Structure 1
Amino acid sequence: GLVSPDEVAAVLIEPIQGEGGYVVPPRGFMQGLRKITKEHGILLAVDEVQTGFGRTGRWFAVEHFGVEPDLIATAKAIASGLPLGAIIGRSEVMSLPKGAHANTFGGNPVAAAASLATIEVIEEEGLLEHAAKLGDEIKRAFADEVGDRHHVRGLGLMIGVELLDERKKPGQYLQEVLVKAFKRGVAVIGAGFSTIRMAPPLVIPREMALKAASIILEVLRGYR
């Protein structure tokens, strides 16, 4: 049954689903969720572990929706592969008395230095703009070529192509495409039951990314 708002401390959500298939929420969804949580005094926490630090062409994916959450969880790209995670939040939420919060490996100086260097590279090399522009170009290529048969979605360099073909089981179709792409030199994995997941490094050159995209499209053409 339904839960009373008084019993809900927070709502935790990925602004774009990761393992669920790179699903971008419909227009107005995040804004509506923010409105409901504010009305009932519920914290809105977003999981930006996959989407954060430039992946979608913004520092955080939630920025695309004009929503300010109470808490952001981030990791992975924050330190370019070194083990680091962080919780970012409003001061009213994060102001805890001394001794109220602790962790075992917090504040590792090497991981922290890697994170600072990562932020510097993203800023100096214009990787947010690069991800946004290149991602749009790749999405257009897939939409023009297979958009009539498959669902192309994503933001920045977080792109999913959901394979829709009634002649094949979703999982079987996806695995066939992934294997064929790999044999042609492109290592790509799936998300969800039937979605090709494209999330190249933010530093990938345009020519390399478009070459990889063309190989995947070549594989998909074989299923017409």
Structure 2
Amino acid sequence: MRLLLLSDIHCQWRDFDPAGYPAVDAILCAGDITETGRTGQERFFESRAWVSGQAAHAPFYWIPGNHDLDFNGTEYADIPNTHCVLDKTISLGLFRLHGVSCSPCYNAPQLARYWDFMTADPEVEHAAYTFEPVDIVLSHSPPHGLCDVTWDRWNGNTNLGSQALTDYLVAHEPRLVVCGHIHEAAGERTLGATRVINSAQHWSTIEL
């Protein structure tokens, strides 16, 4: 199965134009399609046209990210070939896929008040990653310690990913994690048998 992976579009539609994509079996989007979700009405309507174009290219599987304010997963439900997998496990060909949008913000707990799908509560974070073993995890947050390093002048290098997700990888060894959120940490790492691909602000294809 050939998959196209992307995340953190932030309304930069031209950077993710399906006219430049190769043929794929499915597109997996790890969130932050918009900059301010439904609160930016004009850009939200633009996002619907963009999602329609993605889904015309290949089945489009997506989750919201913290910037997708007031999203509940139904925003594109009427667009053919579009599937929100927020807190759902589905079949994708021979594989099982689960979508989760929880991003921890222990370094700055106030962010949970301003953005959606963020938490500084360990119980909430843990609960988000208690789903049954799957082959593919579509997560807005990267795992802690994998494709999640950011830097600031006060703390230096800091890992901002989800420890609960890392614990899930250790316990269940899914084949693939597709994530985003930490733009500067885009890239690929492995943990045991799991490939972790942070697709923030770019797209790529893989064979699975």
Greater percentage in helix: 1
TM-score normalised over the length of structure 2: 0.28
TM-score normalised over the length of structure 1: 0.27
Greater percentage in strand: 2
Greater RCO, CA 8 A, separation 6+: 2
Query: Over alpha carbons, which structure has the higher Rg?
Result: 1
